[in-house]
Structure 1
Amino acid sequence: MKGLIIKSTGSWYQVKEEKTGNIFEARIRGKFKLLKSRLTNPLAVGDHVEFQLEIDDVAWITKIDPRRNYLIRKSVNLSKESHIIASNVDVACFIFTLKQPETSFGFLDRFLACCEAYNILPLILFSKIDLLSEEEIEFVEQIQKMYQNIGYQSMLISSVSRLNLDKLLGKIKDKTSVFFGHSGSGKSTLVNALQPGLDLKTGIISEIHQKGKHTTTFAQMHFWKFGGSVIDTPGVREFAMIDVEKEDIQHYFPEIFKLGRACKFHNCLHINEPKCAVLKGLEDDKIEESRYITYLKLMEEAQEIHKK
């Protein structure tokens, strides 16, 4: 039997049978756990699998189909390990909040780099606009323009005032989407606003630290009435890239890769090489300093992983 993984709690999964739509509790055979990998989870929500039914209608997963793409985060307690958040995604929506909580540019840029690396269409959602002053909205619009100039799609939204929710619906209709952001950024609130009745649990922001508490503790797929699905995920602190050489990192920053074609040396890494078009572009404000800093950090991490 063929099915789709729609929920993962670590040791148990839920699989939706392809033909009937029936949902079964599922486990995986031990051999999957023995596969050598730097991943903490052999299965992820969005995976297409084959399974067999045994006693009490428990499904045993016997095969995982090749993934079209996936997004990865660093494991919380295992710095050398990574965890697949979702697989076979059509559009990945990043929820950026200027406050409650504040989203860093580095976090956004890591997300975008991962989307480039694993061939996923990103969509930046500047959310909680209803909480912002006119001056703050103008600042968000400047950020939006910066990323649009690079080539990334984005929009300003509000789950409270419903600003641009119809526009967002049009972007995710009939597709498998996934919502990412810090804990407290409003992922579950947004899902509830797009489809009232799902009643996903939402949390509050800590007044002291202005950080969200985890309300989603595991990944789960929900199906839209208007067509398609969304994978709701726990708050992510940091994205990761595995099996990536440091020479490849520049490919995941479109503006750096574009300028890099004019460098004197074809193997230029844009760090301290002579006649580097990227470093010149940085001086001329053609490349944002915040994105270049993230680029350097990812280069360092790729080199460290390669050493290990």
Structure 2
Amino acid sequence: MERSFSGVVVRATGSWFEVLAGQETVRCRIRGRMRLKGVRSTSPVVVGDRVACECDAAGDHVITAVELRRNYVIRRASNLSKESHIIAANVDQALLMATLRQPETAPEFIDRFLVTCEAYKVPATLVLSKADLQEPQALAEFRAVYESVGYRVLTVSTATGEGVGEVRELLQGRTTLVSGNSGVGKSTLVRAIDPALDIRTGEISESHGKGRHTTTFSTMYPLAGGGAVIDTPGIKGFGLIDIDEGELWHYFPEMMRTGRDCRFYNCTHTHEPGCAVTAAVMRGEIAPMRYESYLKMLDDDDKYRK
């Protein structure tokens, strides 16, 4: 390995980072007190970053700089309300995996993730996993809500093989962030798509009905058919950060389509007379579930800061 080189971060453990440089993976640490301008983050380096590295006097490989990111997925850091946690950077798309039961993914979690993807220009697809364990009517209703907004919704069961090929085709040739709560089957799906990958999977906790963490650190895996997936630890909540409440509705596509007809240009879509959005909710043209998520995000209660 040359004294100075560049590469892509493919694994982040907190203290050390694995950087793919050509065909070689190099273990690196961060130089001193390196920080990124304008970003208060739990870590200045994340999976997907393109970085510059060098070999220091002690013979260790050190990350010296991070290239400008073209996008990223970010959330409020757990316990640090003014800090951010960037989940991954420089992705072509995001797959949010959700389940309607065993365990249940909260609608607010889904909508907060989608809002962040809209804000940071990351195309998102919803994957309803464990389809064989879900009620068909509930699946159909969920699909109707999000497909009407404009999102692609896939139903998948690794137990029966349903939808696995469709997801494999979607991932081909792209760098994809796969995210969701613990226990929704992220690692299981990735391993079903490419069985050669060494990814640990786990079971749902019988006592709590919630998933156990099987992915400890975010890791990027190359796919046999081309492209790569970033498998991430399960996320309990998804707090928004750096999104102004006056612009929040811009990241709900159905509200953007309707809001232009409001009487007031600065309508908050909560109480104003002549609000086209609330009228659309009353007519059933905007799903009440989505509108409720919008109101909860405006309130930004502490429950979803972790």
* Normalised-by-shorter TM-score class: over 0.9
How far is 1:34 from its partner?
8.2
Counterpart Cα distance in 1 of 2:126 and 2:81: 27
1:7-156 to 2 correspondence within 5 Å?
7-17=11-21, 20-33=22-35, 37-54=39-56, 58-132=60-134, 136-156=135-155
- Mapped contact 2:76–2:241 kept (Cα < 8 A): no
Taking only the aligned residue pairs, the percentage that are identical comes to 42
Counterpart Cα distance in 2 of 1:235 and 1:217: 9
How far is 1:291 from its partner?
1.2
- Mapped contact 2:36–2:44 kept (Cα < 8 A): no
Look up the match of 1:184: 183
Q: Structure 2 length as normaliser, TM-score? A: 0.92
SS in 2 for 1:244: coil
Q: Structure 1 length as normaliser, TM-score? A: 0.92
Look up the match of 1:274: 273
Counterpart Cα distance in 1 of 2:58 and 2:226: 32
* Letter of the 1:10 counterpart: G
- Mapped contact 2:75–2:241 kept (Cα < 8 A): no
- Mapped contact 2:112–2:240 kept (Cα < 8 A): no
How far is 1:298 from its partner?
2.1
Counterpart Cα distance in 2 of 1:158 and 1:221: 23
Gaps of 5+ in 2: 302-306
- Mapped contact 1:40–1:75 kept (Cα < 8 A): yes
Q: More helix by proportion, 1 or 2?
A: 1
- 1:230-260 C-alpha deviation (Å, 9 max, x unpaired): 0000001222333221111111001111111
SS in 1 for 2:7: strand
Pairs aligned (count):
297
Pair 1:166–1:238, CA change in 2 (3 A): same
Gaps of 5+ in 1: 303-308
Counterpart Cα distance in 2 of 1:146 and 1:57: 55
- Mapped contact 2:28–2:60 kept (Cα < 8 A): yes
Counterpart Cα distance in 1 of 2:39 and 2:98: 31
How far is 1:78 from its partner?
2.1
Look up the match of 1:210: 209
Counterpart Cα distance in 1 of 2:198 and 2:29: 27
- Mapped contact 1:114–1:239 kept (Cα < 8 A): no
- 1:72-126 C-alpha deviation (Å, 9 max, x unpaired): 1332232332210011111111111121111111111111111101101111111
Pair 1:67–1:59, CA change in 2 (3 A): same
Look up the match of 1:242: 241
- 1:110-153 C-alpha deviation (Å, 9 max, x unpaired): 11111101101111111101223xxx112202211221111001
> What's the C-alpha RMSD, in Å, of the aligned pairs?
1.7
How far is 1:38 from its partner?
2.8
Counterpart Cα distance in 1 of 2:277 and 2:109: 22
SS in 1 for 2:104: coil
- Do structure 1's residue 230 and structure 2's residue 229 form an aligned pair? yes
Counterpart Cα distance in 1 of 2:65 and 2:158: 39
- Mapped contact 1:74–1:238 kept (Cα < 8 A): no
Counterpart Cα distance in 1 of 2:117 and 2:272: 28
Look up the match of 1:305: none
SS in 1 for 2:224: coil
How far is 1:62 from its partner?
1.2
- 1:196-246 C-alpha deviation (Å, 9 max, x unpaired): 121311111111211011111110100001000000000012223332211
Counterpart Cα distance in 1 of 2:207 and 2:262: 48
Which is worse superposed, 140-149 or 56-65? Answer: 56-65
How far is 1:33 from its partner?
4.1
Look up the match of 1:264: 263
Counterpart Cα distance in 2 of 1:199 and 1:276: 52
SS in 2 for 1:94: strand
- 1:254-289 C-alpha deviation (Å, 9 max, x unpaired): 111111100001111111111111111111111112
Look up the match of 2:304: none
